[in-house]
């Protein structure tokens, strides 16, 4: 797994917090129970001696070991039953002083039999979704929820089906050597949905994915440029250059300035030179890109990117018009 440190640390902190909260609740409940029934406290002290009693028995006469351990076990079971009866008689549940774990498989440790528990894996995925900035989008937009049949035009449907297959294969067989991809098409034809679906699959494989709009990226980078140059805080723009997969949504909708053009070129050029995958979606045609951005960017995009061209009209608008 290659989740960013921010994600792994956040999940580790969450699990530590779960265990601490449970321990605090258990301590609070024990105090409550002991105050109402001191006998339970005495029983707990007796039960806490079991391990040392077994150890002592093991060091004794070998012939008497089985008998001693059997006696310890009998006494232990009797104490547990008495404790249970006392809790119930005082209006508590039998397991009141042992608050439940959120995950009984790993007892909220995150590990089961030396391996990551499924609950911990899911927590990493959820946190990674949130870190992309498009967490809710990724949760509802997947390959399974993409409806090719909803497309009316046959040519557009065939093209969407081909692109769907290409991107599904890209996501399922993702590696850090994947070619850069440009998704081109009008509004509402499925670019964002399918790029979100790719992000979702790749994140679930344990890769570090950054998903942001072009406007969001350049706004963040502009904010950093205006920040205190002597600040000790680590700048976040590094993620656009170093993440395992960068997805830039809606390129061309941002305010285009010399600064944003420079940032875009640096991101594309750096990632291509490092061999790191990038997916860009845009409503702009090839001519639009050549006019809006400088020759270096156009050359990189049309010389290096695998271009997938969507056909058809805005499916979201069609759905709204039918309501």
Give the model confidence (pLDDT) of 138-163 as tens digits. Answer: 777 889 999 888 777 788 889 999 99
Distances (CA, A) of 104 to 6, 9, 96, 121, 175: 26, 22, 16, 15, 34
Query: Per residue in 74-98, is it b (16+ CB within 10 Å) or e — as a string?
Result: eebeebeeebeebbeeeebeeebbe
Domain ranges of the chain: 22-114, 133-322
- Residue 1: its pLDDT value, please? 57
- Residue 133: its pLDDT value, please? 63
Torsions phi, psi for 244 (to 5 deg): -65, -40
Torsions phi, psi for 322 (to 5 deg): -85, -10
Helices 258-274, 295-304: inter-axial angle, 10-degree rounding: 30
Rounded CA separation 96/77 (Å): 18
- Residue 315: its pLDDT value, please? 52
Angle at 270 between CA 268 and CA 272, to 5 degrees: 65
Q: What residues pair up with 308 in beta bridges, in sequence order?
A: 183
What pTM value is reported for the model? 0.70
Rounded CA separation 175/276 (Å): 9
Handedness of CA 101, 103, 109, 114 (dihedral sign): positive
Name the residue among 29, 44, 28, 50 with its Cα closest to residue 80.
Answer: 44
Q: Please tell me the CATH code under which domain 133-322 is placed.
A: 3.40.50.300
Enumerate residue ranges in the chain where pLDDT < 50. 230-233, 316-317, 319-323
């Amino acid at each position: 797994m290659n989740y960013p440190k921010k994600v792994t640390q956040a999940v580790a902190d969450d699990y530590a917090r779960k265990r601490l909260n449970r321990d605090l609740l258990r301590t609070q409940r024990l105090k409550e129970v002991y105050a109402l029934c001191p006998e339970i406290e005495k029983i707990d002290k007796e039960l806490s001696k079991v391990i040392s009693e077994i150890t002592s028995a093991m060091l004794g006469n070998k012939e008497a070991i089985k008998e001693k351990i059997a006696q310890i076990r009998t006494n232990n079971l009797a104490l547990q039953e008495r404790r249970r009866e006392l809790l119930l008689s005082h209006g508590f549940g039998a397991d009141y002083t042992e608050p439940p774990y959120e995950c009984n498989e790993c007892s909220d440790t995150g590990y089961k039999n030396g391996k990551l528990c499924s609950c911990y894996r899911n927590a990493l995925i959820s946190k990674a979704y949130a870190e992309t900035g498009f967490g809710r989008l990724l949760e509802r937009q997947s390959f399974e929820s993409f409806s090719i049949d909803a497309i009316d035009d046959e040519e557009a449907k065939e093209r969407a089906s081909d692109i769907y297959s290409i991107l599904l294969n890209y996501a399922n067989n993702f590696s850090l050597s994947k070619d850069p991809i440009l998704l081109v098409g009008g509004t509402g034809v499925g670019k964002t949905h399918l790029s979100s679906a790719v992000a979702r699959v790749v994140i679930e494989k344990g890769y570090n994915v950054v998903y942001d709009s072009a406007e969001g990226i350049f706004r963040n980078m502009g904010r950093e440029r205006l920040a205190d140059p002597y600040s000790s805080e680590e700048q976040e723009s590094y993620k656009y250059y170093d993440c395992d997969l960068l997805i830039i949504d809606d390129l061309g909708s941002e305010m285009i300035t010399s600064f944003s053009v420079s940032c875009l070129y640096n991101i594309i050029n750096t990632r291509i030179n490092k061999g790191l995958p990038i997916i860009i979606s845009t409503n702009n045609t090839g001519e639009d890109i050549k006019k809006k951005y400088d020759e270096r960017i156009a050359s990189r995009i049309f010389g290096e990117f695998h271009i997938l061209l969507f056909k058809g009209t805005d499916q979201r608008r069609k759905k709204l018009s039918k309501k």
